[in-house]
Amino acid sequence: MSRTYISRHPLDDLLPLEPGIRAVDHLDVPRSSAIVSVMAMDGEEASVTAGLAASGDVSIRFTGPGEWLAVSQSETPESLHRNLSLLLAETAYFVDQSDGRVVFRLSGPNVRRILAKGIATDLHPAIFEVGTSSNVLCGHISINLARTGENEFELIVMRSFAIALFDDLKVMGREFDLSAGFSVRG
């Protein structure tokens, strides 16, 4: 008997199905993202860096020396994995993390003040520039933080911590009436 399995997001029971009223500071949660761990083979760090830079629609997050997360909202996990394998053949290893990581997008005028309640890193735009990413602690939870705009950040967290991080972000954003919802398109 053939079966179809329906995927669940860890915040399925915590976020409304329909988008609600958006506050100026908003936490947007894509329902799904394609995320692949990329690890350069020995001695191939520079060529993988160059290859990833030319990967077009894919966003690259630094996670350690010679290691990145490749993130895409437009591709499926399979297509991202396949495209990267073609692009970086024989220079890197890949592990699909699309189900293992959850993406949070935080945006709004007070986003730095919200993040300062959990993250010790200096997020001044002159220091943590747009396009920068880093593994940091947000409160007790390890995340990958990326600046995607002047007042926009993406937090990527291990799936099992997603609810705990979401609860923390709500407390951090309470002062600014932070709203939250699933992405309309994602």
Partner 1 sequence: MTAYRLASGGLIDRSAPLDFRFDGRNLTGFSGDTLASALLANDQLLVGRSFKYHRPRGIVTAGPSEPNALVTIGKGADSDPNTKATVAELYSGLDAHSQNRFPSLKYDFGAVNGLLSPFLGAGFYYKTFMWPAAFWEKVYEPIIRKAAGLGRAVLERDPQAYEKCWAHCDLLVIGSGPTGLMAALTAGRAGLRVILADEDFRLGGSLLGETARVNDASAQDFTETVLAELRSLPNVTMMPRTTVFGWYDDNVFGAVERVQKHVALPQAKLPVERLWRIAAKRALLATGAEERPLVFGGNDRPGVIMAGAMRTYANRFGVAAGKSVAIFTNGSAGYRTAADLAAHGVEIAAIIDSRAEGADVAPDGVRVIRSASVIDTKGRQRVCGAVVERSGFEQTIACDAIAMSGGWNPVIHLACQRGAKAIWSEDLKTFLAPDVGNGLVVAGAAAGRYTLAGCLKDGAEKAVVIAADLGFSTVSHTAPAVEGEIDPSFTALWYSPGAKAKAFVDFQNDVHVKDIGLALREGFGHVEHAKRYTTNGMATDQGKLSGINATGLLAAMQGISPADVGTTTFRPFYTPVAFGALAGTSRDEHAAPVRKSPLHGWAQRNGAVFVDSGLWFRPAYFSRGGEKTWRESTDREVRNIRENAGLCDVSTLGKIEVFGPDAAEFLNRLYCNPFLKLPVGKARYGLMLREDGMVYDDGTTSRLSHEHFVMTTTTALAGGVMSHMEYCAQVHWPDLKVRFCSSTDQWAQMAIAGPKARLVLQALVEDDISDAAFPFLAAGAVTLRGGLKARLFRISFSGELAYELAVPAGLGEAVADAVMEEGMAHGICAYGLEALNVLRIEKGHVTHAEFAGRVTPDDAGFGRMVSAQKPDFIGKRLSTRYGLTAADRMQMVGLKPVEPDQHIRAGAHLLREGAKPSTLNDQGYVSSACFSPTLGHDIALAFLKSGRERYGERVVVWDKLAGAEVVAEICNPVFVDPGNTKLNS
Least Å from the CB of residue 77 to partner 1: 8
Task: Say which amino acid occupies 36.
Answer: V
Smaller CB distance to partner 1: residue 9 or 61? 9
Name 39's Cβ contacts closer than 8 Å, sequence gap at least 6: 66, 67, 92, 93, 94, 95
Q: Which of residues 76-115 bind partner 1 (CB under 8 A)?
A: 93, 95-101
> How many residues are there in the chain?
186
Written as one letter, the residue type at 18 is E
Query: Residue 174 burial by CB count (10 A; 0-12/13-18/19+): exposed, middle or buried?
Result: exposed
Considering only 18-26, 103-111, 134-142, 143-151, which stretch makes contact with partner 1 by CB under 8 A? 134-142
User: Which residues sit at the interface with partner 1, rule CB under 8 A?
Assistant: 1-10, 13, 32, 37, 39-42, 66-67, 93, 95-101, 116-117, 119-122, 124, 127, 139-141, 158-161, 163-165, 167-168, 171-172, 174-175, 177
